[in-house]
Amino acid sequence: MKTDPHTFFDSFDLLIDDGLILVDANGEVVRANQAAINTLGARILNQPLEYYLRHPDINQALNSIKEFGETSPLTYLRYDDVQHEYVVKFVAFPDDHCLVFMNDVTARISFDKIRSEFVANVSHELRSPLTALTGFIETLQTTAADDAKARVEFLAIMQEEAARMQRLIDSLLSLSRVEAQEHLYPNDDVQMLDVIKDVTSSMMHRAAHRGMSIELSNNLPQTLSPRVLGKKDELSEVLHNLLENAIKYGYENSKVKIILETDTHNKMVKTSVVNSGEGIEEIHLPRLTERFYRVDKARTRKLGGTGLGLAIVKHIVNRHRGRLQITSDLGGETVFTVYFPLLGA
């Protein structure tokens, strides 16, 4: 009994989510699933595949399938808004037809790259304090073994380097936790004003150490209780990180402002943390939430930053289905604004 290639195509299409194309003996597309059409366009039907899947070896691959029944996969790069990478596989089909699979591996490649860069960054961040600790320990064991003054000085520096590593590890654990839970909806009823007041109170001493003050401006309607669906400790972490940055990078004896208001159009509560400082060049703004990205690496390390705080903020905001916005004027105000959906809005 003769097998209908179209029936086979429909059966295979039910099993996969990637692009699937049925090509006849002349190299023309006779069937294509929606994923393939979304990638290459509806015009591929009844047209030579080479017109739309532009690869120098596409015809050679189709001819090899027809003559030998097998061929090697091809790597196909396609540039739309962003670059996508596909592994294209070919399988012989009845009546000299050929099945073409387009497996989009962009996400996997990107994940592997991110993981590799992450390991490299963590190794680099830990290497500096570990090298310093090793050097001081060796010195204390040898040339400075009987030098009481050097011992006091070195131990203080060693304590700072150990604390730096501890902050990095704590931040990595926090980032790992929020990334793992980012796809889960938080479900606690949280009063945002309470979160802001608690965090502000805990940061007052740190601000005062630099001669700075923290001012809360509640511009919400008196009848509105700004409640959001979330996790209180995570929302506190967002505000803590933003306030900590504002204090670190603001001018001494300046004011940090927290402005609470509503975005009536999107029915969201809007919290802005504003400081006055050197500011951030516009070219850096889109990358501030990347792991380990620093505008001024030396200054950030000196101030005790890990380069992970804003990455943590971004993932927590995403988990709460919110939005983060950053604006900055050089030598003026830098504003970090987080939006969270109001409960019951």
Do 90 and 200 belong to one domain? no
Inside any domain, residue 173: yes
The domain boundary residue, chosen from 125, 149, 180:
180
Coarse DSSP helix, strand, coil percentages of the chain, rounded to the nearest 5 percent = 45, 25, 30
Could you list the residue range(s) of the whole structural domain that residue 193 is in? 184-345
Inside any domain, residue 336: yes
Q: What CATH number does residue 125 fall under?
A: 1.10.287.130
Q: What CATH number does residue 326 fall under?
A: 3.30.565.10
Q: What CATH number does residue 93 fall under?
A: 3.30.450.20
Inside any domain, residue 53: yes
pLDDT(47) > 60: yes
The domain boundary residue, chosen from 180, 206, 233:
180
Inside any domain, residue 109: no
Tell me the per-residue pLDDT of 288-341, one tens digit each, with 9 for 90 and over.
998 888 777 555 555 556 778 898 999 899 989 899 999 999 999 999 999 999
- What H or E segment, with its residue span, contains residue 242? helix 232-249
Contact 214, 203 (CB under 8 A): yes
Q: Which residue has the higher pLDDT, 93 or 115?
A: 93
Q: What is the pLDDT of residue 13?
A: 64
Inside any domain, residue 110: no
Q: What is the pLDDT of residue 175?
A: 80
Do 156 and 223 belong to one domain? no
> Residue range 54-78: average pLDDT?
90
The domain boundary residue, chosen from 104, 125, 145:
104
Distance CA 340, CA 313 (A): 13
Q: What is the pLDDT of residue 317?
A: 93
Do 204 and 340 belong to one domain? yes
Contact 253, 279 (CB under 8 A): no
Do 157 and 23 belong to one domain? no
Do 130 and 159 belong to one domain? yes
Could you tell me the CA-to-CA distances from 231 to 178, 184, 189, 227, 238 in Å, in that order? 11, 11, 8, 11, 11
Distance CA 343, CA 46 (A): 52
Token couple for 117: 């860069």
Q: What is the pTM of this model?
A: 0.61
Q: What is the pLDDT of residue 162?
A: 87
Do 215 and 333 belong to one domain? yes
Q: Which residue has the higher pLDDT, 105 or 201?
A: 201
Inside any domain, residue 288: yes
Beta strands in the chain (DSSP E): 19-23, 29-32, 74-79, 83-93, 97-104, 188-191, 213-218, 227-230, 255-263, 268-276, 323-328, 333-341
Could you tell me the CA-to-CA distances from 245 to 40, 195, 324 in Å, in that order? 46, 18, 15
Q: What is the pLDDT of residue 46?
A: 93
Inside any domain, residue 249: yes
pLDDT(342) > 70: yes
Inside any domain, residue 130: yes
pLDDT(1) > 60: no
Tell me the per-residue pLDDT of 189-242, one tens digit each, with 9 for 90 and over.
999 999 999 999 999 999 999 999 999 999 988 888 889 999 999 999 999 999
Do 30 and 153 belong to one domain? no
Do 28 and 134 belong to one domain? no
Pick left, alpha or beta for residue 118 (phi over 0 → left; psi -120 to 50 → alpha; otherwise beta): alpha
Token couple for 323: 């939005």
- What H or E segment, with its residue span, contains residue 120? helix 106-141
Tell me the per-residue pLDDT of 67-90, one tens digit each, with 9 for 90 and over.
888 888 999 988 765 678 899 999
Domains identified in the chain, total number: 3
Could you tell me the CA-to-CA distances from 172 to 3, 13, 178, 243, 307 in Å, in that order? 57, 42, 10, 20, 10
DSSP state of 231: -
Do 94 and 152 belong to one domain? no
Do 334 and 217 belong to one domain? yes
DSSP state of 214: E
> What DSSP letter does each residue of 167-206 carry, written as one string?
HHHHHHHHHHHHHHTTTSPP-EEEEHHHHHHHHHHHHHHH
Do 47 and 167 belong to one domain? no
pLDDT class for 172, splitting at 50, 70, 90?
A: confident
Tell me the per-residue pLDDT of 138-164, one tens digit each, with 9 for 90 and over.
888 888 888 888 888 888 888 888 888
Do 172 and 246 belong to one domain? no
Tell me the per-residue pLDDT of 226-285, one tens digit each, with 9 for 90 and over.
899 999 999 999 999 999 999 999 999 999 999 999 886 768 999 999 999 999 999 999
Rounded to 10°, the helix 192-209/232-249 angle is 30
